[in-house]
Amino acid sequence: MGLLSFCGVAWGRPVSFLDSTMVMATGQPMMSGLSLARTISRRFSFGLSYLWMNRRRDRVNLLAQEVSLLAYRHNALNWQANAFATVGIGGLKSVGDIREMALVAVEADAESRHWYLSANSRYILSRQKFEDLQAALRAGLAPFVGEIDQINPWVVLQYQYMHQFRNRHVLTPMLRLLYQNIALEMGTSFRGEWTVNFSAEL
């Protein structure tokens, strides 16, 4: 599985197999986004991300062009591990003010057919000053495993840290369904904030 970065809190891999395109969408009351990433070599992808954020002091629209690097990959017989780094530049609109922005993101994950762990962090700058910091930790378990033509269910627990948001800490249990090259996640945080994530690897 796989599969991770960018809509809001990353949850799909930014670098995948050669000549593939990853489509990711996320929806939460405080943040939603859409991301496309085209893998152009074994280690690099180019992407475009749009993000809407409802923060403590403002509402933000962000559009960024990104380059991602698969910095590390380990393939074992029963599991795999990855580490990614991403840089992006673009524009950000907040309270009628449009300004340039840049972001740096790092991410690591490891998974088998039965368990899944990931961690990611994103640092956003605008006008060369700190704009936001977001991070997430995810752990998942598969109650049973299936083949490629079966729906594979996962139970995932996600912790998000969002520095500029009203609720900085969000803990969300989710159900994740994988079918071939499509993943759908649904959950509600312990404060009642819903989350819907979708990704497809084309």
Query: Given the rule CB under 8 A, which residues bind other proteins?
Result: 1-3, 16-20, 42, 70, 73-80, 111-113, 145-148, 152, 178-181, 183, 201
Other Cβ atoms within 10 Å of 105 Cβ, number: 23
CB nearer to other proteins: pick between 39 and 195: 39
| Residue type for position 65 | Q
CB nearer to other proteins: pick between 47 and 90: 47
CB nearer to other proteins: pick between 147 and 190: 147
CB of 186 to other proteins, least distance (A): 18
Q: Two tokens at 181?
A: 């090259």
Beta bridge partners of 33: 26, 51
Rounded to whole angstroms, the Cα distance separating 162 from 30 reads: 10
CB of 25 to other proteins, least distance (A): 16
b/e map 55-83, b = 16+ CB within 10 Å? beeeebebebebbbbbeeeeeeeeebebb
CB of 134 to other proteins, least distance (A): 24
Which residue in the block uniquely carries the two structure tokens 């891999």?
Answer: 13
CB nearer to other proteins: pick between 72 and 130: 72
CB nearer to other proteins: pick between 67 and 182: 182
Report residue 63 CA to chain centroid gap: 15
Instruction: Please choose, from the candidates 47, 2, 3, 51, the residue with its C-alpha nearest in 3D space to the C-alpha of residue 21.
Output: 47
CB of 178 to other proteins, least distance (A): 5
Q: What is the DSSP letter of 15?
A: S
CB of 139 to other proteins, least distance (A): 16
Asked if residue 193 lies in contact with residue 22, where contact means CB atoms within 8 angstroms, the answer is no
Instruction: Please choose, from the candidates 169, 160, 109, the residue with its C-alpha nearest in 3D space to the C-alpha of residue 137.
Output: 160
CB nearer to other proteins: pick between 5 and 189: 5
CB of 42 to other proteins, least distance (A): 6
